[in-house]
Structure 1
Amino acid sequence: MSRILFIADLHLCQEEPAITAGFLRFLAHQAQTCSELYILGDLFEAWIGDDDPSPLHRQIAQAIAALSIPVYFIHGNRDFLVGKKFARQANMQILPEEYVLERFGQRLVIMHGDTLCTDDVDYLKFRKKVHTPWIQWLFLRLPLSVRLNIARKMRQRSQSAHQHKAMAVMDVNPQAVIEVFERHNATFLVHGHTHQPAIHSVKAVSLQAQRAVLGAWHQEGWMIEWSEKGLILSDFPW
């Protein structure tokens, strides 16, 4: 039976070796039994360019490339600069920020999920700015040390901003969710970003749909399995 897996929000970094070890075990075990693997953003805590010589990045690229199944990637808000060079090294395909899968007689939309948080106006303004092509072009041509320093400061500001925002503001907007279902005529939506794992029922026009949210890999791993039986959200020890 065909079995598709989705993961997101691992936030891999040198400072969290346990999460890296857990991801490598996931690739060696759970991922070996699926037909396709989709990584829905924030695989890394930060990404300052494909030219970053980090040993962690090489290790992860090699581990993903060793899989015998197709692997797909959607950018997150932390690793939106992952480029074609790293994708080739990892033998994975980069998808658009919203992508539709048609399997098992159903349509399922995948995305990172940050664009659903339309109540977080300040974040969306920031997102629009850092996704501007000429800004990215300039950033990627700065010295690595400068980019590292900028990324460090951005993470600090993000953490500070989160402490002063209500959870409701940082969660998805219900109308934005419905619009995704209607735009793609889909019955399933899978995303990450909010770190609030659950499967929600959604009434979208005449459709009875499901929105499945992946958890972050803070203390355990999270994955969503899609098969003929539907969607299954599960956590597992590293």
Structure 2
Amino acid sequence: MKEVEVPKDYNHENEIDWQATWQRMKLYQFNLDEERPRYIIDTPPPYPTGSIHIGHVLNWLYMDLLARWKRMQGYSVLFPQGWDCHGLPTEVKVEETQGIKKNDVPREEFRRMCIELTGENIQGMKTQMQRMGYSQDWKREYVTMTPEYKEKTQRSFLQMYHDGLIYRAVHPVNWCPRCETAIAFAEVEYTENETFLNYLEFSSSTDEPGVPIATTRPELLAACVAVVVHPDDERYQHLTGKKV
């Protein structure tokens, strides 16, 4: 057997050659192979608003490890890559880069700016992910702003509506006055402010001493359903198991 000398120093430039070889071999393409069990990884599509960050790198590392492990176990693995072109993050990015507000230009012009920026960011982030060596099936790449994807989501929405899974009701939402839209909890940014520390007395139905509770959010009193005290605190043992 011919001996192969392993270099002492790692040459990262070899990665590009190997990645090109994997693409030519179609090593990671998903095939409807009836002889092998299927394993599907539903990847959460990121917002294409810039370069990938360390959180993307770590999360896709976990998924990539799982995909490779399942392939070694004999599974036919579907590991696609998508891009969530949800409007709000893209709109904010366009406003930042163009130095405008969305109402400063006609709606169609602003949409064009968003689509153009999204396409550029997708290409940049795709290149970065491919350079990381992840084993996605890029033949099954999807973009949530394409007509084909919109049609699928609309069909799913209508099906869920007909099944009674979608309804209209009154519900509190996180509202952004600047963006003029509802936002997710993950998009809420918190700030630290000086305020008052309020002491509320939780008393029982008897004349016994109650439990003082300190809070900066007394308006949330209606949502309080339980009071927890230390089991060794003698001051409140007389209230254990009682309603206050």
TM-score, normalised by the number of residues in structure 2: 0.25
The structure with more strand, counted as a fraction of residues: 1
Q: Larger relative CO (CA 8 A, sep 6+): 1 or 2?
A: 1
In terms of fraction of residues, the more helix-rich structure is: 2
